[in-house]
Structure 1
Amino acid sequence: MSSRPDVTMAQRKRRLVSNELTEAALQLLASQGFDAVTIDDIATTAGVSKRTFFRYFASKEDVVVQFLADLGSGIQQELAARPVGEPPSVALLHAVSVPAAACGDHADRALRVVQLILRTPALLARFLERQVQWREELSAELARRLDIDPAVDLYPQLAAGTALAAFDAVLQRWSDSDGVEDPVELTERAFAVIAPALDAATAPPERTAPPERTAPSA
């Protein structure tokens, strides 16, 4: 008899527990503050033991880091799914707009988490650390799409960094507005600023007309 269904059920159960822990942790951390919440608080709210918590996460920070990891992998996956011939600015705009839209669709929860990350030094440091990995992933995908060597051409790293800087600016503005501004609209405005630079670097060079010949003087 195959054990595959049992493995699948175990994976589903593990994912369910992980989601419950994540949800409980993010709600508590966002409402009470990072320093005020203990791992015991999270475990109790999720209805599990402290020992179970440590089977899934090493610390409170790791709960938020997992949230960030899912966010970053979503951007990379969306970029990979865009049409290959699409201008980089358009492809990157769509890739970044997906998590921005998700934030808008779940504004109450997402806003609290974003504000928690941006206003807690330890979490902000982990956020910036995680973005290094995001940049590498986006850079590799851009290099693949454009068929260029990232070890030679600076464009993939610069374009990925520029797109993520725009995303950071959107999150900061959305956080500062307490959710009043629309993150999708902010993303579109941000990319309107950076799009010319993103696309100009990949456009074929303009061909200049040869200088006109002048008749030799008599």
Structure 2
Amino acid sequence: MAAGDTITVALIDDHPAVLAGVRYWYATADPPIEVVAAGATPKAAWLPPGDSAAVVVLDLHLAGGPPAFGDLRCLVDAGRQVIVYTMRDDEHTALTCMDIGAFSYLTKAEGEEHLVAATVAAADDRPYTPPALAGAFGANRAAERPQLSVREEEVLIEWFQCESKELVAERLGITPRTVNSYLDRVRIKYANVGREARTKAKLVARAIQDGLVRVDDL
């Protein structure tokens, strides 16, 4: 998003008290975040004005049904930035949502501070790892890990800690094109083992899962 733009959100939750509370948190954030659409079903994120919201905040359990993994996948496949906001705090559910492509996963117990911070990060496409997700990433993963070269890992970690690829290139003494080449290789390797990572936020998630970086390092 451009500097100074208002962050817009489509909020999906079937509990009126949650909707009211999150609206208040966003309205009193600095700067305020605008809820442009809200509702008890994902339809609010697909119809105007929710279809243009920068971020979708999705409750994982709607109307007492099973986890809304299908709705999450549809939103992700459409290129939406989705924050899963749920009562569930188990590692398997969190990692499943991240594997589908959620931007982040927050439990409702984590409250205002983390939801607002995650929303701002999602709008800017910057990584954000709240405590529940950090715990899930710290769990043992059965998924296959891609074999990254030492140089690929080095470029990846530098990119996580720099504001731009140009700065990564300067610090490593290579060109920005070479930085892009290494990052493309890393993404391909993750895709080849079924753990797609199309954005910087997703690559950060994979790297934490695989022990390449710690949350405290970011």
What interval of TM-score do these two structures reach, taking the shorter chain for normalisation? under 0.3
Greater helix share, 1 or 2? 1
- TM-score, with normalisation over the residues of structure 1? 0.27
When the two structures are superposed, what TM-score results if normalisation uses the length of structure 2?
Answer: 0.27
Greater RCO (CA < 8 Å, at least 6 residues apart)? 1
Structure 1 or 2, whichever has the larger Rg, is 1
